[in-house]
Amino acid sequence: MILTVTLNTALDLTYTVPALVPHTTHRVTDVVERPGGKGVNVARVLAALGHETVVTGFAGGPTGEVLRDLLAPLPVRDALVPSAGATRRTVAVADSASGDTTQLNEPGPVITPAEWAAFLSGYAELLDGARAVALCGSLPRGVHVGAYAELVRRARAAGVPVLLDTSGEPLRRGIAARPDLVKPNADELAALTGAREPLRATRDARRRGAHAVVASLGADGLLAVTPDGTWQAAPPARVAGNPTGAGDSAVAGLLSALVEGAPWPERLARATALATATVHARAAGEFDADRYGELLERVSVRELATAA
């Protein structure tokens, strides 16, 4: 199975409005409610691809109960740890006129030392049966800033490949623990390395400890610097829609291809096609299956020069 960790889970709400206009009242034309947080989104896509998947992290309060109720009918196993603090909500407002989306994210609960200890105990047990693990998203309050570095080290000690997808200081410390793969976006790369040029920043990030780095460049696709080479993957055309969760679908593509033993160009093509197909879907954690099949045949993957 593949294990996904979402320490700061969320109940995702997506509101669609005809046009988002500041300082006015809006009539919502469509509402979608989903279990969320980056790792939960990753798990849902992995399950849709046919992989056995387990989600862990924290869930608490009335919002956490709704999240777990929404998870129950899905083909993912719930190994979330109860917390006294309430799970956060995230609200995406999709503007039908422009195709843009505005995101509002609550901070999440405060995790106690006892809750963190309970999580670590469960994490160790879950690693025992995992083929890969994804560590995704922000840290809830109360969890120390080096938490992802600790989880990376535990996964490596268990011999389980680990992917890290976070930002800021947790990314800086986590990458130094030598994860197998890191998937930052362009802004996260720039904050980590101080470089804005994507290839330079991605190479710099890998030198900081990651075995491989796959940078998400938004509509321009993915850039990968790995021990086996450097590649750039791009979708066949720019698409309009809701980009929320596209990066999570890319993570699912990378992980699924990793456990299947696919070469890097195939991993990147799958991740790029899934990310693009997610922009066509109604909410994070979903992708347009028909579009995915079409896109997978049309993604461009080219190898770049490997000189540093």
- Is the pLDDT reported for residue 27 higher than 70? yes
The residues pairing with 92 across neighbouring beta strands, listed in sequence order, are: 14, 103
Q: Average pLDDT for residues 35-52, to the nearest whole number?
A: 94
Residue 99 or residue 19, greater confidence: 19
Give the contacts of 104 (CB within 8 A, at least 6 positions apart). 90, 91, 92, 93
pLDDT in tens, 220-261: 889 999 999 999 999 887 666 666 778 899 999 999 999 999
Question: Tokens representing 262?
Answer: 């696919």
The answer to whether residue 274 scores a pLDDT higher than 70 is: yes
Would you state the pLDDT for residue 241?
62
Q: Which of 5-9, 48-52, 169-173, 298-302 has the lowest mean pLDDT?
A: 298-302
Work out the mean pLDDT of the chain and round it to a whole number.
92
Burial class (CB in 10 A: 0-12, 13-18, 19+), 25: exposed
pLDDT band at 308, cuts 50/70/90? very low
Q: In this structure, what is the dihedral angle of CA atoms 95, 100, 102, 103, given to the nearest 10 degrees?
A: 120
Hunting for tokens 């709400």 — which residue is that?
A: 13
Q: Could you tell me how far CA 78 lies from the centroid of its own chain?
A: 17
Instruction: Give catalytic status of residue 248 as yes or no.
Output: yes
- DSSP secondary structure letters along 158-170: TT--EEEE--HHH
Nearest to 57 by CA among 189, 148, 182, 155: 148
The reported pLDDT for the residue numbered 240 is 61
- Say yes or no to pLDDT of 307 above 60: no
Structure confidence at residue 294 (pLDDT): 78
Q: Is the dihedral of CA 64, 67, 68, 69 positive or negative?
A: positive
Distance from the Cα of residue 230 to its chain's centroid: 22
Query: Which pLDDT value is given to residue 99?
Result: 77
Percent of the chain whose predicted confidence (pLDDT) is above 90? 75
pLDDT of residue 224: 96
**Mean per-residue pLDDT, 106-128:** 96
Amino acid at 250: A
The answer to whether 135 touches 157, Cβ cutoff 8 Å, is no
As a whole number of angstroms, the distance between CA 307 and CA 292 comes to 33
Q: What is the pTM of this model?
A: 0.91
Catalytic residue of the set 12, 180, 248, 288: 248
pLDDT of residue 298: 83
Report the pLDDT value the prediction gives residue 169, as an integer from 0 to 100.
Answer: 96
Q: What per-residue confidence (pLDDT) applies to 282? A: 63
How many helices, marked H, and strands, marked E, lie in the chain? 10, 15
Whether residue 101 has pLDDT greater than 90: no
Question: Tell me: the pLDDT tens digits for 186-223?
Answer: 999 999 999 989 999 999 999 999 999 999 988 788 99
Q: Is 217 exposed, middle or buried (0-12, 13-18, 19+ CB in 10 A)?
A: middle
Determine the average pLDDT of the residues in 110-127.
98
> Nearest to residue 6, comparing CAs of 148, 146, 103, 130?
148
Report the share of the chain in percent with pLDDT over 70.
95
